[in-house]
């Protein structure tokens, strides 16, 4: 399922709490492979939230941070492609629009993303790794990163 469709399905879901609980359970007990899959889904929820005219929920930020912490390695596949768009959404919210706990959750998530970017910038990273070129992804915006992630 493409990430945009997955995000649309989540946005239309009336039982978001049940979905969050299921994903939280996976974050606690699932494998790293499952964490990679579910992290891409949660990142898509966040990345596509402005298209739905909503701000990402604090619990979504915490959930993605939990998945990224569990990975402990370089992101791959769809997650690697959608994370820059997710980060762009996080940077766009001002402190006045949200509460302190949301800002704290956002900062924790940013730390996890920065940790992954640091891993990618080490000399052992692959030459075709897109993280060192994040500035070009940010110039293209959410739509370009999302379209790229959906092609995979």
pLDDT at 64: 93
Two tokens, residue 19: 């979905």
pLDDT at 128: 46
- For residues 55 and 129, what is the distance between their CA atoms, to the nearest angstrom? 29
**Structural domains of the chain, count:** 1
pLDDT at 25: 93
pLDDT at 50: 65
pLDDT at 65: 92
pLDDT, tens digit, 9 for 90 and up, residues 46-97: 988 866 677 888 999 999 999 998 887 777 888 888 888 888 888 876 656 6
Indicate the DSSP class of residue 21. H
* Domain of residue 77, residue span: 3-151
- For residues 150 and 3, what is the distance between their CA atoms, to the nearest angstrom? 6
Cα-Cα end-to-end distance for the chain:
10
What number is the average pLDDT over the span 25-42? 89
Q: What is the CA radius of gyration of the chain?
A: 14
pLDDT at 119: 61
pLDDT at 62: 93
pLDDT at 95: 58
Whether the predicted model's global pTM rises above the 0.75 cut: no
136 close to 113: Cβ distance less than 8 angstroms: no
pLDDT at 77: 84
The owner of tokens 């402005």 is 50
pLDDT, tens digit, 9 for 90 and up, residues 98-145: 778 888 888 888 888 877 776 655 544 444 444 434 434 444 444 555
- For residues 32 and 138, what is the distance between their CA atoms, to the nearest angstrom? 27
């Amino acid at each position: 399922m493409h990430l945009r469709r997955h995000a649309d399905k989540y946005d239309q879901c009336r039982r978001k709490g049940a979905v969050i609980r299921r994903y939280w359970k996976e974050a606690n007990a699932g494998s790293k492979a499952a964490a990679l899959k579910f992290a891409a889904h949660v990142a898509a929820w966040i990345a596509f939230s402005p298209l739905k005219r909503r701000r990402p929920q604090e619990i979504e930020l915490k959930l993605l941070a939990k998945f990224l912490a569990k990975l402990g390695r370089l992101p791959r596949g769809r997650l690697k492609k959608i994370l820059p768009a997710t980060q762009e959404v996080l940077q766009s919210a001002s402190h006045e629009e949200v509460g302190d706990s949301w800002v704290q959750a956002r900062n924790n998530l940013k730390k996890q993303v920065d940790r992954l970017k640091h891993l990618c910038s080490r000399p052992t990273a692959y030459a075709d790794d897109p993280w060192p070129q994040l500035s070009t992804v940010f110039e293209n915006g959410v739509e370009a990163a999302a379209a790229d992630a959906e092609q995979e």
